[in-house]
Chains A and B, each alone.
Chain A
Amino acid sequence: MLQLIADGLVVGSVVSLGAVGLTMTYAILRFANFAHGELLAWGAYLALSMLGILLAIGGAERMVPLSPFSFGWELVVAALVACVGAAAIALVLDKLLFSRLRHGAAITLVIASFGAALALRNLLQFLWGPIPTYYSRELQIAIPLVPRDVLGGMRITPDQLLVLALAAATVVGLHLFLTRTTLGKAMRATALNPQLARVAGVDVDGVIRATWIIGAVLATIAGVLAGLTVQLRPQLGFDLLLPLFAAAILGGIGNVYGAVLGGLIVGLAESLAVPLIGAEYRAAVSFLVIIAILLVRPQGLLGERT
């Protein structure tokens, strides 16, 4: 039981990070971006390639792990470079596709994101191939946090603890950004009323760029963490898309804090549902969460507007 909760929170942290970006895109650009999952996958794979380059330059066979974690400093650098790459992809996508459709019906943007997702996913598969891989083959010893005789006990790997810590740190950082900085406040104003924000002096185009960059950076962090704690596969983004949407809707779409809460709940729900419905139906949990919340409280847990 405790172990399921711990696993659920780790998965939930990754979902939270991804869902924050998704919900921010929704708040500012007002459409459900089906390509957001691909930003996670691209971030994760760009980090993989960068890691390979760094290792080749250093002439190393593999990373020397930064104890107690399974990875070395190379992955940290690679992830940072991948953040830049994913942000560039998001900005190019906006420039070529979304910005041209922004003045039409919102649903056109959804369709476009659907097409973009398909192209990005298959391009990724074309470039990196379909076979799952890992950043590091280093095995980790799980730390027993709770002895086995208490509710089945709980063990967690240092990497998993890092996921939890990073997710928490990111949320705090994001909160400070949104409440303390001018850009953060400009984003809030744009989310509330873009036209009024514009006449109040907000550079809405700049806000849109910032949104893509932040969303892509969070997506990359989430993707790398998913790759680190599970594995890297081309469908990584596609498989996470439904949990991301479930988290965003559960929290109240457009609400950043709601997305974090929603992500943790979705992660927990998936993990706790496995003994009941079997691991093979794990992915359906998100769908049930979406249906349930839409029927009971469509504005989400923290949402105000309908």
Chain B
Amino acid sequence: MSALAVEGLIAGYEPDLPIVREASLAVAPGEILAVLGPNGAGKSTLIKAIAGLVRVYGGRVLLEGEEITNAPAHTMVRRGLAFVPQTENVFANLSIAENLDLAAAIVKAPRARVGALYDLFPDLARQRRLAAGRLSGGQRQMLAVARALVVAPRVLMLDEPSAGLSPKLVGQVFEKLLEIRASGVTIVLVEQNVKAALAIADRGVILVEGKERVMGEAQSLMDDPAVAELYLGRSGRHAGEGA
């Protein structure tokens, strides 16, 4: 059974103008799936529709076989699905510790879990009193991921975690994602940064105009000239140079 599966999903902001058009994909347990595609392909809308933040007009979303289509966003964490938004993904006015404590309090998570997260993110542990709004981009992203892990999800979805980060920081964040995966969490990653994403992903799916076009092993996608064509349009030759 897939950890997360999407079947013929139609979703968007207006019923007669869907942005996701009959998209389907499946993620195996413990896998990292990269969702790629050109700008405006509907990647972000797709992941938000799965998270319950964008309305689904057709098709199904299954979490470990259980249908969660259009379930309210706040119920997702209780079902084991966590989401890291692209922007405003931390409580900027609160300190690191307050961010994690608040997130833990909302889902009544055991206190030990926040402690375990500090072990996973020693950088955050070192400056718990610092306001999240004053963190650097990379650390803020780390905090956003840590916040999502407070609920001990089985599936973690991230919307462009590399956005606005230097290559070095992208490396650090993605490094951390591999560690998280190693602990058994399934990861779905929406990314502009094709090269970095495919470097850590097991498989990738390329979305074009709201529908999956190419699916496959990460390595094979990297080498596939058709992917470059799809991804960068007519002139594209360097699939790996995205973002």
Interface residues of A (CB under 8 A from B): 182, 185-186, 188-189, 192-193, 195-205, 304-305
B116 at the interface (CB under 8 A from A): no
Q: Choose among A193, A201, A304, A305 the residue that contacts B106 (Cβ–Cβ < 8 A).
A: A201
Ordered by A's residue number, 26 sampled pairs between the chains whose C-beta atoms are within 8 Å are: A182-B105, A182-B106, A186-B106, A192-B91, A192-B93, A192-B94, A193-B91, A195-B53, A195-B88, A196-B85, A196-B88, A196-B89, A199-B51, A199-B73, A199-B74, A199-B148, A200-B74, A200-B77, A200-B102, A200-B103, A200-B147, A200-B150, A201-B74, A201-B75, A201-B76, A205-B72
Q: How far is the CA of A203 from the CA of B82 in the complex (A)?
A: 15
Q: Is there an interface contact between B91 and A189, defined as CB atoms closer than 8 Å?
A: yes
Taking CB as reference atom, which chain B residue is nearest A305?
Answer: B93
Q: Is there an interface contact between B107 and A201, defined as CB atoms closer than 8 Å?
A: yes
Q: How far is the CA of A195 from the CA of B77 in the complex (A)?
A: 14
B107-120 vs A, Cβ < 8 Å mask (1 yes, 0 no):
11000000000000
Taking CB as reference atom, which chain A residue is nearest B103?
Answer: A200
- Residues from chain B with Cβ under 8 Å of A205 in the complex: 72
Given A201-B78, A202-B74, A305-B93, the answer on whether A193 and B51 have CB atoms closer than 8 Å is no
B63 at the interface (CB under 8 A from A): no
B90 at the interface (CB under 8 A from A): yes
Q: Is there an interface contact between A193 and B102, defined as CB atoms closer than 8 Å?
A: no
Taking CB as reference atom, which chain B residue is nearest A184?
Answer: B105
- Residues from chain A with Cβ under 8 Å of B150 in the complex: 200
- Residues from chain A with Cβ under 8 Å of B173 in the complex: none
B124 at the interface (CB under 8 A from A): no
CB proximity of A255 to chain B, nearest CB, Å: 11
Q: Choose among B90, B102, B147 the residue that contacts A185 (Cβ–Cβ < 8 A).
A: B102
CB proximity of A30 to chain B, nearest CB, Å: 14
Given A182-B108, A185-B102, A189-B102, the answer on whether A201 and B151 have CB atoms closer than 8 Å is yes
Q: How far is the CA of A255 from the CA of B131 in the complex (A)?
A: 18
Q: How far is the CA of A198 from the CA of B73 in the complex (A)?
A: 6
Q: Choose among A192, A195, A198, A200 the residue that contacts B107 (Cβ–Cβ < 8 A).
A: A200
Q: Choose among B77, B78, B102, B108 the residue that contacts A188 (Cβ–Cβ < 8 A).
A: B102
CB proximity of A210 to chain B, nearest CB, Å: 14
CB proximity of A258 to chain B, nearest CB, Å: 14
CB proximity of B74 to chain A, nearest CB, Å: 5
B83 at the interface (CB under 8 A from A): yes
Which size bracket describes the interface of B in this complex? 20 to 34
Given A185-B102, A185-B105, the answer on whether A203 and B74 have CB atoms closer than 8 Å is yes
Taking CB as reference atom, which chain B residue is nearest A206?
Answer: B74
Given A200-B77, A201-B151, 10 more A-B residue pairs with CB atoms under 8 Å apart are: A186-B106, A189-B102, A189-B106, A193-B92, A195-B53, A195-B88, A199-B51, A200-B102, A200-B106, A201-B77
CB proximity of B50 to chain A, nearest CB, Å: 12
Chain A CB within 10 Å — which of B53, B83, B91 has the most? Answer: B91
Q: How far is the CA of A256 from the CA of B102 in the complex (A)?
A: 18
Taking CB as reference atom, which chain B residue is nearest A201?
Answer: B77
- Residues from chain B with Cβ under 8 Å of A199 in the complex: 51, 53, 73-74, 76-77, 82-83, 85, 148
- Residues from chain A with Cβ under 8 Å of B151 in the complex: 200-201
Q: Is there an interface contact between A204 and B106, defined as CB atoms closer than 8 Å?
A: no
- Residues from chain B with Cβ under 8 Å of A200 in the complex: 74, 77, 102-103, 106-107, 147, 150-151
Given A189-B102, A189-B106, A201-B151, the answer on whether A196 and B53 have CB atoms closer than 8 Å is no
Taking CB as reference atom, which chain B residue is nearest A304?
Answer: B93
- Residues from chain B with Cβ under 8 Å of A193 in the complex: 88, 91-92
CB proximity of A115 to chain B, nearest CB, Å: 28
- Residues from chain A with Cβ under 8 Å of B77 in the complex: 199-201
Taking CB as reference atom, which chain A residue is nearest B90?
Answer: A196
Chain B CB within 10 Å — which of A182, A197, A198, A199 has the most? Answer: A199
Q: Is there an interface contact between A185 and B93, defined as CB atoms closer than 8 Å?
A: no
Q: How far is the CA of A192 from the CA of B102 in the complex (A)?
A: 11
Q: Is there an interface contact between A204 and B91, defined as CB atoms closer than 8 Å?
A: no
Taking CB as reference atom, which chain A residue is nearest B91?
Answer: A192
- Residues from chain B with Cβ under 8 Å of A198 in the complex: 53, 73-74
Given A203-B74, A305-B93, the answer on whether A195 and B102 have CB atoms closer than 8 Å is no
- Residues from chain A with Cβ under 8 Å of B51 in the complex: 199
- Residues from chain B with Cβ under 8 Å of A305 in the complex: 93
Taking CB as reference atom, which chain B residue is nearest A192?
Answer: B91
Ranked 6 nearest A-B pairs via Cβ? A201-B77, A185-B105, A198-B73, A201-B107, A199-B83, A192-B91
Find residues 58-95 in chain B having any chain A CB closer than 8 Å to their own CB: 72-78, 82-83, 85, 88-94
- Residues from chain A with Cβ under 8 Å of B102 in the complex: 185, 188-189, 200
